[in-house]
Structure 1
Amino acid sequence: MEAAADRDATEFDHAIEVLEEQTSVLWRRERTTSHALAKNVHPEMEPAAYGILTLLQREGSLRATDIATSIGVGKPSVSRQLAGLERLGLVSRQLDPSDARSQRVLLTARGRQQLAAAQAGRRTAFTTLMRSWDPEDVETLGLLIARLNSTYKKDTW
């Protein structure tokens, strides 16, 4: 019984090593992709701002503090990114109807259009890249990545 537990622990440790290595490669590639996607949205947009746009696309309008909390960065960083996105005409601010002391940030029509175009390009690239995969494998990968992402919401580091 103890030998089986040791073998299971060793197999789990090896699986974690493989996962760490492969996610490192994936995240490096994703950083490169995010840089390119940001430039597809607008040539002057900073790569870090892409995540803000996708968050606004998903959530609608948010306060800057909520954006900072959602993406895990400080409010000064978000404020700087928002100022740049506003300057590029991709986001705008409006008074918060529930609290006139604060503002909500939302995508402009131009921001929605340019983000959607960049995302369509990304989907086309994924389709080309994964055309040889079985559709069930693609779906399983998506589900497992979603599970990994939900686990990160619980992280303590």
Structure 2
Amino acid sequence: METAMGHDGVEFERAIEVLEEQTSVLWRRERTTSHALAKNVHPAMEPAAYGILTLLQREGSLRATDIAQSIGVGKPSVSRQLGALEGLGLVTRRLDPLDARSQRVLLTPLGEQQLAAAQSGRRTAFTALMRSWDPEDVEVLGSLIARLNLTYTKDTW
């Protein structure tokens, strides 16, 4: 009978231990990078807001409730972040054309410009970091991280 640990439970368990350890290191480093990127977008921007900006960049415009659901935090937290981002001139709110009772949030031209500049810096850093890797390995790593992200749910724990 095959268990959830796979064909060889000991090997799978060890692989999971390595994965947990290495993702923990990666997430700590990414958190540090996100703090720096947020400051590159705007010196007064909170690091947690960076994810909201990238979400808006990808999706175009969203309601605050959709943002909260997408990033896995409560609507009050998102509302506070959106207020701060709006005050910095990075996002704006517009009436939802499909539902006049709600608003959609979108990046301002300044928000788009500042976010693109920060992302360009991040790509430059990744290029320098990964320069010694084979392009195929970088592609495989990106694909595997994308696969991991697709399997993640906020209900995992």
Q: For residue 69 of structure 2, what is the amino acid of its counterpart?
A: T
1:1-157 to structure 2, matched below 5 A, reads 8-153=8-153, 155-157=155-157
Q: For residue 134 of structure 1, what is the amino acid of its counterpart?
A: D
Q: Normalized per residue, which structure has more helix?
A: 1
Q: For residue 55 of structure 1, what is the amino acid of its counterpart?
A: L
**Once the 2 structures are TM-superposed, how far is the Cα of residue 124 of structure 1 from its aligned partner?**
0.1
Do the aligned residues in 1 keep the contact of 2:42 with 2:114 (CA within 8 Å)? yes
**Once the 2 structures are TM-superposed, how far is the Cα of residue 8 of structure 1 from its aligned partner?**
1.1
Do the aligned residues in 1 keep the contact of 2:93 with 2:103 (CA within 8 Å)? yes
Do the aligned residues in 1 keep the contact of 2:62 with 2:106 (CA within 8 Å)? yes
Shift of the 6–42 alpha-carbon distance from structure 1 to 2, 3 Å rule, reads: closer
Show CA shifts across 1:7-49 (max 9, x none).
8110000000000000000000000000000000000000000
Shift of the 6–66 alpha-carbon distance from structure 1 to 2, 3 Å rule, reads: closer
Q: For residue 47 of structure 2, what is the amino acid of its counterpart?
A: P
Show CA shifts across 1:90-134 (max 9, x none).
000000000001000000000000000000000000000000000
What are structure 2's unaligned runs of at least 5 residues? none
Count how many residue pairs are aligned between Structure 1 and Structure 2: 155
CA distance in 1, matches of 2:117, 2:8: 46
Q: For residue 61 of structure 2, what is the amino acid of its counterpart?
A: S
**Once the 2 structures are TM-superposed, how far is the Cα of residue 6 of structure 1 from its aligned partner?**
9.3
State the SS of the aligned residue for 2:89: coil
